[in-house]
Amino acid sequence: MDNITKEQANRYSPLTLAFLGDGYYELLVRQKITLLHNMSANKLHHAAVKKVRASFQAAACEKLKTVLTEEESEIFRRGRNAGGAVPRSSTPSEYRKATALEVLFGWLLLIGETKRAEELFEVIYYYSEKEK
């Protein structure tokens, strides 16, 4: 995938970045679960759904606050303030935080910072497993 500059990425609407980030984040979840658990596709799907739902992503945001750079925090804030229809399966607060997380992952993917996205994802995954 071709990368773009931060300035170009900043011109995208938060919901467009969230669209991309949602898919990228889900791919990271699926990859991690597949590598850790050799099980049926149905079980893999159910395990992945737990980690991509808005409530999980909202909780994950709390774990990232201390490790985000100033610039990443600004992108995150942009995402949190984005509008959008809230699904019935989440609260407005959960939805805003989940959208912010997806915006950040979309932005990082566009600018070619996949290593950084993977680092942040590992923080999320580590804490989610630790809290089990």
Interatomic CA distance for residues 111 and 105, integer angstroms: 10
Out of 9, 14, 18, 22, pick the active-site residue.
22
90 SS3 class: coil
Residue type, 83: G
Q: Using CA atoms, how far apart are residues 75 and 96, in angstroms rounded to an integer?
A: 13
The yes-or-no answer on residue 22 being catalytic is yes
Residues belonging to the active site: 22
